[in-house]
Structure 1
C-alpha cells in the first residue's frame, strides 16, 4: 500500500467514525459517551457538525479515533475469547476495565 492509499483509507475511516459517532450521540448520548470513550464536550461538538464540517475534519491525515485497549490485560481478555469456558466473563471484565478508563478520561 502506498502513501496515497494510506491517506485515502485514513480519510475514509475518519468520515465513517464521525458519521457513526454523530449517529450514536443523537440516538443515545450516554451510551455514545461510553462506547466512543469521549467527553461530554466532544459529544456536543460532534452532534452539531454539519456534513461539510465532517468532510473537512475527515480530510485530516491523522486518525481521529484511537484504541482504548492500551494494556496487556485488556488485550488478553479480548483476544483469548473462545479458549476458555469463561469467555463471556472475560469480555465482561474487559468492558468493565474500559468503562473505568472512560470515567478517568471524562
Structure 2
C-alpha cells in the first residue's frame, strides 16, 4: 500500500466515523457518548456539522478516531474470544473495564 492509498483510506475512515458518530448521537446521545468515548462538547459539535463540514473535516490526512483500548488486560480479554469457556464472561469483563474508563474520562 503506497502513501496515496493510505491517505485515501484515512479519509474514507474519517467520513465513515463522522457519519456513524452523527447517527449515533442523534439516535441515542447517552449511548453514543459511551460507545464513542467522547465528551458532551465533542458530541454537540459533531451533531451540528453540516454535510459540507463533515466532508471537509473528513478530507484531513489525520485519522479522527483512535483505538480506545490501550490496556493489555482488555486486549487479552478481547483476543481470548472463542477459547473454551471464556466467550461471554470475558467479553462482559472487557466491557466493564472499558465502561469504567469511560466514566473516569467524563
Q: TM-score, normalised by structure 1?
A: 0.97
Q: How many aligned residue pairs are there?
A: 106
The within-5 A match list for 1:7-26 is 7-26=7-26
Report 1:45-64 matches (<5 A): 45-64=45-64
Aligned to 1:96: 96
Unaligned runs of 5+ residues in structure 1 are none
What runs of 5+ residues in structure 2 fail to find an aligned partner?
A: none
The question of whether the paired residues in 1 share the 8 Å contact of 2:10 and 2:61 is answered with yes
Which residue of the partner structure matches residue 27 of structure 1? 27
Give how far 1:26 is off.
0.2
Q: Which runs of 4+ in 1 moved over 6 A?
A: none
Q: Which residue of the partner structure matches residue 73 of structure 1?
A: 73
TM-score by length of 2: 0.97
How far is the alpha carbon of 1:105 from its aligned partner?
1.6
Query: Structure 1 residues 55-64 or 10-19, which shifts more?
Result: 55-64
CA drift at 1:87:
1.1
* Residues in 1 aligned to 2:36 and 2:97: alpha-carbon distance in whole angstroms: 14
Q: How far apart are the structure 2 equivalents of 1:56 and 1:104? A: 32
